[in-house]
């Protein structure tokens, strides 16, 4: 077990590749490099925001950290324990402490299960409660997330999007985890429901001293609730800094573009952004050489197309950036 002043989560040179297969024999022809050498840490009680365009690898990184998706290489240390060294049983036990809230509560809640069973299931799997105590804990959890205790008998289809996200939250929190990956938890919710869910997340954060990896497209929100923010581009972290430092003094050309991005006006596409950058993000199957951002970078120079820039610390505040020109 780690000392109290050590990070709760430490990610070291993590790679998660998806094999691309073709033909009748499903021969592997390439790798899709969704996460490609990522290192960072999250302290106890800290919220780390994670931002970047769709497809840059945020969800894959979140799932890999929790070992819901086995990384191709690299290490994740949770409370000092190397998750890669755990047996399936030990990993299951460890999962009590680390949970994920998904982007789309419409697909993550089993439509055939009553809400009470959905919330009770993790407690039963981990043998943490049974009988009356189990029922009490489920009802208590429902009330804590702002629903009603007698809703246990209902099915997910009887709830609105915001209520389902509350159910999702209840399911994640019932095991009393110390770390939660929130993957775009406000997508598909209307503005007032978003505000309520955020209030709940912040309340639980303060009450239980939780750590969050908070993935979202709404930069104003990320700025409001994160202690530090990491920026991801095509499988790599390009910048990470304390929140105000990142927004007031962005150093990487991609971060600068993200911060000045304009939200897409269509509410149905609220989580997309229009970046004032040339072209689309390149494919993670065959990413550009050198700095991955160089084909879209308006200040790219000589070695940018050949040499991969390391994420390195600038100054003393822990601000890290991966750019040759900084």
Ligand X SMILES: Nc1ncnc2c1ncn2[C@@H]1O[C@H](COP(=O)(O)OP(=O)(O)O)[C@@H](O)[C@H]1O
CA distance 149 to 93: 28
Q: Is 56 in the site for ligand X (CB under 6 A)?
A: yes
Residue linked to tokens 């149905």: 268
Is the Cβ of residue 111 or residue 302 nearer to ligand SF4 in the bound state?
A: 302
Draw the binding track, 57-96, toward Mg ion (x: CB under 5 A; -: no contact). Answer: --x-------------------------------------
- Binding to ligand X by residue 67, rule CB under 6 A? no
Given candidates 68, 143, 274, 299, which one binds ligand SF4 under the rule CB under 6 A? 299
Nearer to ligand X, 7 or 52 (CB): 52
Q: Across the strands, what pairs with 58?
A: none
Q: Least Å distance between CB 236 and ligand SF4?
A: 11
Burial 214-234 (b: 16+ CB within 10 A, else e): bbbbbbebbbebbbbbbbbbb
The structure tokens listed for 105 are 């509560």
Give the x-and-dash track for 234-273 against ligand SF4 (CB under 6 A). Answer: ------------------xx--------------------
Binding window for ligand X (CB under 6 A); candidates: 58-66, 75-83, 253-261, 310-318: 58-66
Among ligand X, ligand SF4, Mg ion, none, residue 55 binds (CB under 5-8 Å by kind):
ligand X
Identify which range of 52-60, 116-124, 170-178, 305-313 contacts ligand X by CB under 6 A: 52-60
DSSP SS3 for 6: coil
Query: Strand 236-242 relative to strand 228-233: parallel, antiparallel, unpaired?
Result: antiparallel
Reference 243, options 326, 319, 322; nearest CA is 319
Secondary structure (DSSP) of 263-293: E-SSGGGTT-EE-SSSSPPPPSSSPPSSSTT
Binding status of residue 54 toward ligand X by CB under 6 A: yes
Instruction: Decide if residue 293 touches ligand SF4 (CB under 6 A).
Output: yes
**What is the smallest separation between the CB atom of 264 and ligand SF4, expressed in angstroms?**
24
Tell the smallest beta-carbon distance from residue 316 to ligand SF4 (Å). 22
CB atoms within 10 A of CB 19: 12
C-beta separation of 185 from 145 below 8 A = no
34 binds ligand X (CB under 6 A): yes
Query: Judged by CB, which is closer to ligand SF4: 210, or 240?
Result: 240
| Span near Mg ion by CB under 5 A; candidates 55-63, 81-89, 159-167, 222-230 | 55-63
Q: Is 185 in the site for ligand X (CB under 6 A)?
A: no
Partner from Mg ion, ligand SF4, ligand X, none binding residue 319, C-beta < 5-8 Å depending on class = none
Query: Is residue 11 classed exposed, middle or buried when 0-12, 13-18 and 19+ CB atoms within 10 A define those classes?
Result: buried
Residue 297 within binding range of ligand SF4, rule CB under 6 A: yes
Q: Where do runs of H (alpha helix) occur along 16-160?
A: 58-65, 88-94, 105-108, 115-125, 131-144
Cα–Cα distance measured from residue 241 to residue 203, given in angstroms and rounded to the nearest whole number: 24
Site residues, ligand SF4 (CB under 6 A): 252-253, 291, 293-294, 297, 299-300, 304, 309, 323-325
């Amino acid at each position: 077990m780690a000392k109290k002043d050590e990070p709760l989560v430490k990610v070291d040179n993590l790679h998660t590749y998806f094999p691309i297969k073709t033909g009748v024999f499903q021969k592997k022809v390439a790798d899709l490099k969704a996460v490609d050498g990522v290192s960072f840490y999250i302290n106890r009680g800290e919220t780390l925001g994670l931002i970047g365009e769709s497809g840059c690898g945020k969800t894959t990184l979140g799932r890999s950290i929790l070992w819901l998706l086995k990384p191709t290489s690299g290490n994740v240390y949770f409370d000092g324990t190397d998750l890669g060294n755990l047996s399936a049983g030990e990993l299951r036990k460890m999962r009590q402490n680390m949970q994920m809230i998904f982007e789309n509560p419409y697909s993550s809640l089993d439509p055939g299960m009553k809400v009470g069973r959905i919330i009770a299931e993790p407690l039963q799997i981990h043998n943490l409660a049974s009988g009356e105590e189990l029922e009490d804990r489920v009802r208590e959890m429902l009330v804590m997330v702002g629903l009603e205790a007698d809703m246990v008998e209902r099915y997910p289809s009887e709830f609105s999007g915001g209520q389902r996200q509350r159910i999702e939250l209840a399911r994640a929190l019932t095991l009393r985890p110390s770390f939660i990956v929130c993957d775009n938890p406000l997508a598909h919710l209307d503005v007032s429901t978003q505000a309520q869910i955020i209030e709940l997340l912040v309340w639980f954060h303060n009450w239980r001293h939780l750590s969050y990896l908070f993935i979202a497209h709404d930069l104003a929100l990320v700025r409001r609730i994160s202690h530090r923010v990491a920026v991801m581009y095509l499988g790599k972290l390009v910048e990470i800094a304390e929140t105000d430092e990142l927004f007031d003094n962005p150093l990487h050309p991609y971060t600068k573009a993200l911060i000045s991005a304009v939200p897409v006006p269509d509410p149905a596409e609220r989580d997309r952004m229009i970046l004032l950058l040339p072209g689309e993000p390149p494919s993670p199957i065959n990413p550009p050489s050198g700095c991955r951002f160089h084909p879209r970078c308006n200040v790219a120079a000589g070695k940018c197309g050949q040499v991969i820039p390391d994420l390195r610390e600038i100054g003393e505040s822990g601000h890290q950036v991966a750019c040759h020109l900084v």
